Structure 1
Amino acid sequence: MCGIAGVFDPRRVPERAELDAMIGTLSHRGPDGRGTWIQGPIGLAHARLAIIDPEGGAQPMGSADGQVQLVFNGEIFNYIELRTELRQCGHRFATDSDTEVLLQAYQAWGDAFLSRLNGQFALGLWDARRQRLLLARDGVGIRPLFWTRVGQRLAFASEAKALFALPEVPRALDSAGLAATFGWWAPLAPHTAFEGIHCLPPGHCFAIDARGQTLTRWWDWDFPLTDPFTPVDEDALADELHALLVDAVRLQLRADVPVGAYLSGGLDSSILTTIIRRHTDAPLRSFSLTFDDPEFDESEHQQRMVRHLDTQHSSIGCSRHDIATAFARTVWHAETPLVRTAPTPMLRLADSVRAAGYKVVLTGEGADEVFGGYDLFKEAKIRRFVAQRPDSPRRARIVERLYPWLARSPGGANALSQRFFTDSRVPGHDAVFAHQTRLSSTRRAWAFFTPERQQALARHDPAGQLRAQLPERFDQWLPMARDQYVEAHTLMSGYLLAAQGDRMAMAASIEGRYPFLDPRVIAFAARLPPRLKMRGLSEKLLLRKAFAHELPPQIGRRTKQPYRSPDSASFFHNGQPLPWVAELLSDTRVRDAGLFDAPAVARLSAKCATGRATGFADNMAFVGVLSTMLLHAQFVKPATPVLENA
């Protein structure tokens, strides 16, 4: 895992000093080495986290004939198989790195090499013969890639902060990115939190040459147009899934350094750790988070798996104080407003993994999107089913069955019950039907922006932007498939794999790997009938069946527990905001930033300080305001002091 950067300027040769400045901002992504390469209109830079072939995998790397140069962030898990195939075609290799495999795969197959990759990656490739720059990103968006243009000059990098190392790149928050964040929880690609900074969408490649630029989708999620009631052999499918996941884990354990695993105590991480322990020769070293607040803590289930697998395990606790202390660092790495504090404990967890001497961890993200594990899918199923009885007084009670954990969250159950069925202002066949509650709850934070900013936000329609990006076959898919597609292209790629995944792990120079997002696993799950993903209100049926004989019953049958952490309460003590919070949200600072209405922010802060925050909406609004103010102070006006203890 690494950090990459580059400049393409048809007018002049890029300067080494500016490339050094760009890659210098990404040292956390690559502490093991640094390199630059400049020729003609192109300059490439790389910061390396050495995982495969530490001695021979330095970058930028050039082809044997010098005509192709590559900077690459990520891992290609099937590089051994690809190298064998290329050797059979006459190619010779000087290193054991997956980077060289990418170079020769491009020379052998052109842009079509992307469809042969099983991996997680973002890359910049210069083809000297064609005077062509190719940028590409993995199918589901695990690794980030950003770009910007200033005149004819194009710059790209793993993170926006590297682009801001170029003095000519302007700094301002983007209204479209803010509108989507306070709705979908993250900007929708190609938008980001910053004006003029673009995110290459997952599964896309971007080619720039003398003729112009071309954006092409090379991979996307797809679902079959099948009868959901077609008979299937569940036992055979469970066996197939078991074998497929074992192989996905086997591939993702490939590394020349030790590999650990996150163990949350939920079904997904328990399956991964079980596979490592029972089906590979790799030693099992596991890491987990605990909370002192029982509303968020899952240590009981973690310890059950530790005993079951006899794993070498360590856990790190996370308190409200810990969250407040690390939140500014979280935002700096996330480079986007956050409406939850959940990324911060993940940052602490990654720090603990690095302190234990590990660079790589396997994690269970993606399973809920691939196999329909989220409560959101249950909500949508129920709302569609009962849509014909809008006046039934008994429907709201079903929220208690969906969210038993809300009983431990004061105010949460009542607020959600009131909105669960009434928030749906779109028909059941609409693309955003399943996500309407999330959109409307998060959008309530728009009220805290200044009137001028609210007008700017209103010019953007996050739901409409999503609809405009849907594939042609979308309307022909079954409802659950449509819901899964939207979830994968919003919350998963924009928030979970980014702010809560790549950015927090790489802040500690840790590479996260995601076996449930192996493209073969995604394709397998896509062709399953919905009843094998959800039956009644029981989720991930086939996945549970595939591993039922290897998990403790309490884990195998356990209902989905969403990962959460303390939110607004983390930033107050004895009814008062922490000093750095009070300073950042002061009337002067809020008015100076020009983003939020100062009196409204003061009222929200007072409400949270006294414990009167109402459910998720108030909590998300407060965290969103605080993180946006931090983002503005860190990037838009970096001369503005942000207290060191923030």
Structure 2
Amino acid sequence: MCGIAGIVDFNSNHNCISTVKSMLQAISYRGPDESGIFHSSSVTLGNVRLSIIDISGGQQPLSDIIGRYWIVFNGEIFNYRELRDELKNEGCKLKTKSDTEVLVQLYAQHGKECLDKLNGQFAFAIWDKKKEELFLARDRVGLRPLYYNITDGVFSFASEIKSLFKTNYIKCEFSHQSLAQVYTLWSAFSPYTAFKNIFELPPGHYAVFNRDGLKTGKYWSLDFNNNHSPGLSDSLEQFDELLSSAVRLRLRADVEVAAYLSGGIDSTSTVAYIKNIEPGVLNTFSIGFTEKDFDESRYQEEAIKYLDTNHKNIYCSSRDIAEYFPAVVWHSETPVTRTAPTPMMILSKLVRDNNIKVVITGEGSDEILAGYDIFRETIIRRFWASQPGSSLRPMLLKRIYPDIPHLRDASPNILKMFFGYKLEDTDNPFYSHLLRWNNSNHIKKHFSQEIKETLSDYSPLDDLENELPSDFNNWDALQKAQWLETTIFMSGYLLSSQGD
């Protein structure tokens, strides 16, 4: 990952170069290889770089051929080689081999329509010197973060919120409504964050800031309206082609690419595809737990032996989780409701200590392929709801939580107490997540009296319902659950605390 930051100040009221330097210093760990700043009368852009593609030639900020457009970019454009050839065929001469230059030149040629051509994970900002206009964009599902603030007409942006607080004009204050969202949904929903007046550019969106102010637009959204349903054989063939292509593209780098190997279906499958594409030596990494109820080392060992990888692992104890947890919160920049991100930080440190910059993971597959327990739980709860008095139907829930002792050994009455919340409210658009969100909601009992009073008439679910896609109620139960999990949980919680 890299880090980007910048300020647009049309009145030149601030020492923007000094401020942007401080903003970059706050996130210097994102880009330890090099840094750079572009400054003109109205804008200052900065970047700290973790070099992966064109190590010697991809320094940022970078301009297009004629110097009109200047870019700072965090991420990777996986299909940059194909796009580079396309630009060359259009007569464009490029001076580097980097995906950054391909991106800025694509924007110079096609404007915001360039976003439709991109296959990648990205957050970037491009300054148009002629129009005096800043264009920003974020990838489709929000793998790369991008935050901003507007104070007295000054637009500031960065890869992390803590960077914005390095200015002397942005206050660090919690938003009470956002806290209510976090302690219900596990995340504030986009574009809001846990902090007042700090916003994120939502996944699949772009923004334009100029003297007329800020305008945002959506260029992509998760859509379940394609009614074309190929047969199982055709579906498997298409999926195999898509996953093979996705893995192959992610192996494009000028540095070594490694992989996580947890022993689960997702990472094991991904590693198998990598070995099929590039049969040579592959470095893999995993984490185990000293507490046997949570340890999956035996599955990892089976996968390592079968796939023949050069493997390194580390064990995590309760003491380790307690030690690293404050750092996890600091990096997550939002209240964290679980300690699960902590082992991932410990694992990522092991990777970095082995001089690896890029790892392929299995994140996102559970959302797309409905792998999470919450999807199966919803099916069982709906089945149970058709006969709510049944003592047998809730027992099915024990089958999907065999590794959780207090659920595995629970009686029917205990299962009813735990899983019976709004059991028969099957027409509720949030039915799949009502139980989870109700459990999280109890944390709000610990809010101060002042915060409780400001939130007395506020409902995060009412707020969220107003933001649902217009055709949400036309989708089936699984599609609704997948949309909620992907749109709210994956980007706002999973990727912010366990990814970039």
Same fold (TM over 0.5): yes
**CA RMSD in angstroms, aligned pairs only:** 1.8
Cα distance in 2 for residues equivalent to 1:197 and 1:414: 46
Residue pair 1:263, 1:273 contacting (<8 A) in 2 also: yes
1:57 alignment partner AA: G
Instruction: Specify which of 450, 453, 468 is matched with residue 451 of structure 2.
Output: 453
1:346 alignment partner AA: M
1:345 alignment partner AA: P
Shift of 1:427: 3.3
Residue pair 2:7, 2:16 contacting (<8 A) in 1 also: no
Write out per-residue CA displacement over residues 64-84 of structure 1, whole angstroms, 9 at most, x where no aligned residue.
Answer: 211101000000000001111
> Relative to structure 1, is the Cα distance of residues 181 and 4 closer, same or farther in structure 2, using a 3 angstrom cutoff?
same
Match of 2:320 in 1: 322
Instruction: Give the secondary structure class of the aligned counterpart of 2:112.
Output: helix
Q: Is the aligned partner of 1:435 residue 2:419?
A: no
Match of 1:293 in 2: 291
2:234 alignment partner AA: A
The gaps in structure 1 that reach 5 residues or longer are 503-646
Match of 1:261 in 2: 259
Q: Is the aligned partner of 1:2 residue 2:2?
A: yes
Shift of 1:191: 1.2
Shift of 1:352: 0.3
Instruction: Specify which of 335, 348, 351 is matched with residue 337 of structure 1.
Output: 335
> Relative to structure 1, is the Cα distance of residues 390 and 225 closer, same or farther in structure 2, using a 3 angstrom cutoff?
farther
Write out per-residue CA displacement over residues 350-389 of structure 1, whole angstroms, 9 at most, x where no aligned residue.
Answer: 0000111100000001111001111111122222233232
Write out per-residue CA displacement over residues 537-568 of structure 1, whole angstroms, 9 at most, x where no aligned residue.
Answer: xxxxxxxxxxxxxxxxxxxxxxxxxxxxxxxx
Match of 2:468 in 1: 470
2:2 alignment partner AA: C
Cα distance in 1 for residues equivalent to 2:383 and 2:321: 40
Cα distance in 2 for residues equivalent to 1:340 and 1:219: 30
1:146 alignment partner AA: Y
Cα distance in 2 for residues equivalent to 1:99 and 1:415: 58
Instruction: Specify which of 477, 480, 488 is matched with residue 479 of structure 1.
Output: 477
Q: Is the aligned partner of 1:196 residue 2:209?
A: no
Instruction: Give the secondary structure class of the aligned counterpart of 1:404.
Output: coil
1:40-439 paired onto structure 2 within 5 Å: 40-224=41-225, 226=227, 232-281=230-279, 283-407=281-405, 417-424=415-422, 427-439=425-437
Shift of 1:143: 0.5
Cα distance in 2 for residues equivalent to 1:296 and 1:414: 25
> Relative to structure 1, is the Cα distance of residues 180 and 412 closer, same or farther in structure 2, using a 3 angstrom cutoff?
farther
Aligned length: 499
Name the TM-score, length of structure 1 as normaliser.
Answer: 0.75
Write out per-residue CA displacement over residues 224-243 of structure 1, whole angstroms, 9 at most, x where no aligned residue.
Answer: 3538xx6x432232122112
Write out per-residue CA displacement over residues 144-168 of structure 1, whole angstroms, 9 at most, x where no aligned residue.
Answer: 0000111111100000110000011
Write out per-residue CA displacement over residues 423-463 of structure 1, whole angstroms, 9 at most, x where no aligned residue.
Answer: 12783233211000110001101111122212234443222
Cα distance in 2 for residues equivalent to 1:126 and 1:415: 61
Identity across aligned pairs (percent)?
Answer: 40
Cα distance in 2 for residues equivalent to 1:426 and 1:166: 51
Shift of 1:263: 0.7
Cα distance in 2 for residues equivalent to 1:299 and 1:45: 42
Q: Which moved more, 1:52-61 or 1:465-474?
A: 465-474
Shift of 1:55: 0.6
Instruction: Give the secondary structure class of the aligned counterpart of 2:206.
Output: strand
Residue pair 1:29, 1:47 contacting (<8 A) in 2 also: yes
The gaps in structure 2 that reach 5 residues or longer are none
1:424 alignment partner AA: K
1:407 alignment partner AA: P
1:44 alignment partner AA: L
Cα distance in 2 for residues equivalent to 1:413 and 1:314: 41
Cα distance in 1 for residues equivalent to 2:9 and 2:411: 55
> Relative to structure 1, is the Cα distance of residues 407 and 178 closer, same or farther in structure 2, using a 3 angstrom cutoff?
same
> Relative to structure 1, is the Cα distance of residues 410 and 395 closer, same or farther in structure 2, using a 3 angstrom cutoff?
closer
Cα distance in 1 for residues equivalent to 2:128 and 2:163: 23
Cα distance in 2 for residues equivalent to 1:344 and 1:140: 23
Shift of 1:411: 8.6
Shift of 1:415: 9.3
> Relative to structure 1, is the Cα distance of residues 205 and 409 closer, same or farther in structure 2, using a 3 angstrom cutoff?
same
Residue pair 2:181, 2:187 contacting (<8 A) in 1 also: yes
Write out per-residue CA displacement over residues 15-63 of structure 1, whole angstroms, 9 at most, x where no aligned residue.
Answer: 2111100111011100000111111211101000011111111111111
Instruction: Give the secondary structure class of the aligned counterpart of 2:465.
Output: helix
Match of 2:22 in 1: 21
2:196 alignment partner AA: E
Shift of 1:467: 1.9
Cα distance in 2 for residues equivalent to 1:181 and 1:86: 44
Shift of 1:97: 0.3
1:193 alignment partner AA: A
Residue pair 1:399, 1:413 contacting (<8 A) in 2 also: no
Residue pair 1:276, 1:283 contacting (<8 A) in 2 also: no
Cα distance in 1 for residues equivalent to 2:412 and 2:203: 37
Instruction: Give the secondary structure class of the aligned counterpart of 2:321.
Output: helix
Cα distance in 2 for residues equivalent to 1:340 and 1:400: 22
Cα distance in 2 for residues equivalent to 1:18 and 1:361: 32
Instruction: Give the secondary structure class of the aligned counterpart of 1:405.
Output: coil
1:10 alignment partner AA: F
Write out per-residue CA displacement over residues 159-203 of structure 1, whole angstroms, 9 at most, x where no aligned residue.
Answer: 011000001111111112211111111211111111111111111
Write out per-residue CA displacement over residues 90-142 of structure 1, whole angstroms, 9 at most, x where no aligned residue.
Answer: 11110000000001110111101011110001111111222111111101010
2:180 alignment partner AA: A
2:8 alignment partner AA: F
Residue pair 1:396, 1:420 contacting (<8 A) in 2 also: no
Match of 1:515 in 2: none
1:169 alignment partner AA: I
Shift of 1:408: 6.4
Residue pair 1:180, 1:462 contacting (<8 A) in 2 also: yes
Residue pair 1:400, 1:413 contacting (<8 A) in 2 also: no
Shift of 1:418: 3.2
Match of 2:39 in 1: 38
Cα distance in 2 for residues equivalent to 1:413 and 1:166: 56
Name the TM-score, length of structure 2 as normaliser.
Answer: 0.96
1:8 alignment partner AA: V
Shift of 1:282: 5.5
Match of 1:537 in 2: none
